[in-house]
Structure 1
Amino acid sequence: MPTERETEAEGKSTPLAETVLSELLQRIYDGRLAQGVVINEAAIAEEFGVSRGPVREAVRRLQGLQLITREPYVKSRVVTLTQDGAQELFEMRLALEGMACRLAAERMSDDEIADLIRELEQDRQRTLAGKAKAKGQSEPRVFDFHERIVRGSRNSRIIDALCGDLYHLLRMYRRQSGAVPERKDQAYAEHWQIVRALRARDGELAESLMRSHVGRASAHLFDKLPLITGTSAESRSA
């Protein structure tokens, strides 16, 4: 299912553009639309059986979300991850998500925390049961752990910063940092530590755990970023 933020993004487009936007977002998230790949609007329109208009609208939205770049007289491409870009975004996450987690420990209701625990476990069970679709297809759209905590902070400034237009770019970087199975397992364990702190209403511990979690994700991404950027899809198009 789409995340809350995806639903907001799609709701501003025409119905056909919503469909195209939703699918292109998912392909960028799961890597089927790799960084640097050329966006072939004609091919996408043919694939979806729509005119070029909805595709152009979806591409414009993706440009606004900083997931697609376009230079004058140059085709649109999926954004390429950079060391500097990752550094800036993770520095922002380190500060804001840490504070959001502290506030969430104080402000989320018992029911919200219980829902978070249930969905975290359901997400894990789906993964262990192998219910994710085969490679080359979309993975199930599940809840976003980080978004849920940020919104649980009840701080509109933090929510706007992390769940606004930058949300999708942040998610792209986060997805790359957790793309290796070993990191996914570690991240899951770290999520559970954070949830326990939330349930205990220990804001100081929750903030510390979230900052450590984001820091590890950052280090993991920087370790593999040269490999990621080295596989730029210059010669491919979608």
Structure 2
Amino acid sequence: MDESVETFFNTEDAQGPLAEAVFQQMLEAIYQGRLAPGGVINEVSLAQEFGVSRGPVREAIRRLQGIQLVTREPYQKARVVSLSAESALELFQMRMALEGVACNLATHRMSDEEISQVLSELEQDRRNRLIGGGNGQGRSAPRAFDFHERIVRACGNQRIIHALCGDLYHLLRIYRRHSGTVLERKHDAYDEHWQILRAIKARDAGLAESLMRSHIERAARHLSEHLPYPEATTSRGG
């Protein structure tokens, strides 16, 4: 093939629907842990797995760097972002502030129908988990129900929505998933979600905000027990 023609097709692959498909598959692999935190990203291996050239894989890696899921030091290979207790604490402190306010606002803004819909979806999500469904296996699996995203989007404050549901959402989601890997924490989180929704349904904004903050604080404590601190850090995690 003529070099200019080959370059054209590689450029199209790297910027078109094929690159988007590769990006989504890599994103899901990071969510599921198949591309593990701190692990090296092998462009050749991924290109073979997805049946594409390296162009779309490189573009996907570039986009993943842009949303802080991939890091690349000079002269080194790209890696999936490493998870640390220090980073988690900073993110969850931000969440406590913003999601607490979002929950307060959502209590005033959500209609009875919207609240009932979220209650129904929460119950369905619980059933899916009990029977082993909704585990994200398979490329065509529907996106999992996200309680926190639903509450944040219902608050109506576009700055809060952008802060928590924009690019940072992906990194937050990884930390949140990690905090729920222990079965006991999953059950606790489900019960806490129900309590928050009951407060919203009762239109008790203060209680809903307090419950959300406490819920996130407990998740942060759980994470701090299961993630490492940098070697140079002697803090006990506050």
TM-score category (smaller protein)? 0.7 to 0.9
**C-alpha distance in structure 2 between counterparts of 1:72 and 1:88, whole Å:** 26
| % identical aligned pairs | 63
Report the alpha carbon displacement of residue 84 of structure 1 after superposing the two structures with TM: 2.1
Q: Which residue number in structure 2 is paired with residue 18 of structure 1?
A: 20
8 Å contact 1:102–1:203 — kept in the other structure? yes
**C-alpha distance in structure 2 between counterparts of 1:30 and 1:104, whole Å:** 30
8 Å contact 2:100–2:210 — kept in the other structure? yes
Q: Equivalences for 1:121-140 in 2 at 5 Å?
A: 121-132=123-134
**C-alpha distance in structure 2 between counterparts of 1:133 and 1:157, whole Å:** 31
**C-alpha distance in structure 2 between counterparts of 1:67 and 1:34, whole Å:** 11
8 Å contact 2:125–2:134 — kept in the other structure? no
**C-alpha distance in structure 2 between counterparts of 1:167 and 1:111, whole Å:** 26
Report the alpha carbon displacement of residue 83 of structure 1 after superposing the two structures with TM: 2.4
The equivalent position to 1:104 in structure 2, one of 103, 106, 115, is 106
One-letter code of the match for 2:149? Answer: E
Report the alpha carbon displacement of residue 109 of structure 1 after superposing the two structures with TM: 1.9
**C-alpha distance in structure 2 between counterparts of 1:17 and 1:176, whole Å:** 27
Report the alpha carbon displacement of residue 185 of structure 1 after superposing the two structures with TM: 0.6
**C-alpha distance in structure 1 between counterparts of 2:92 and 2:149, whole Å:** 15
Q: Which residue number in structure 2 is paired with residue 224 of structure 1?
A: 226
Q: Equivalences for 1:26-45 in 2 at 5 Å?
A: 26-45=28-47
Find the residue that maps to 1:221 and give its secondary structure.
helix
Find the residue that maps to 1:54 and give its secondary structure.
helix
TM-score normalised by L of structure 1: 0.85
Moved over 3 A (4+): 136-140
Find the residue that maps to 2:228 and give its secondary structure.
helix
CA RMSD of aligned residues (A): 2.0
The structure with higher relative contact order (CA 8 Å, sep 6+) is 1
One-letter code of the match for 1:18? Answer: E
8 Å contact 1:133–1:140 — kept in the other structure? no
Larger Cα-atom Rg? 2
Q: Which runs of 5+ in 1 are unaligned?
A: 1-12, 231-238
One-letter code of the match for 2:127? Answer: Q
Matched, 1:215 2:217: yes
**C-alpha distance in structure 2 between counterparts of 1:151 and 1:61, whole Å:** 24
After alignment, is 64-73 or 123-132 more displaced? 123-132
Q: Which residue number in structure 2 is paired with residue 171 of structure 1?
A: 173
Q: Which residue number in structure 2 is paired with residue 88 of structure 1?
A: 90
Q: Which residue number in structure 2 is paired with residue 194 of structure 1?
A: 196
One-letter code of the match for 2:144? Answer: V
**C-alpha distance in structure 2 between counterparts of 1:215 and 1:94, whole Å:** 7
After alignment, is 218-227 or 64-73 more displaced? 218-227
Q: Which runs of 5+ in 2 are unaligned?
A: 1-14, 232-238
Find the residue that maps to 1:195 and give its secondary structure.
helix
**C-alpha distance in structure 2 between counterparts of 1:100 and 1:204, whole Å:** 11
**C-alpha distance in structure 2 between counterparts of 1:145 and 1:223, whole Å:** 24
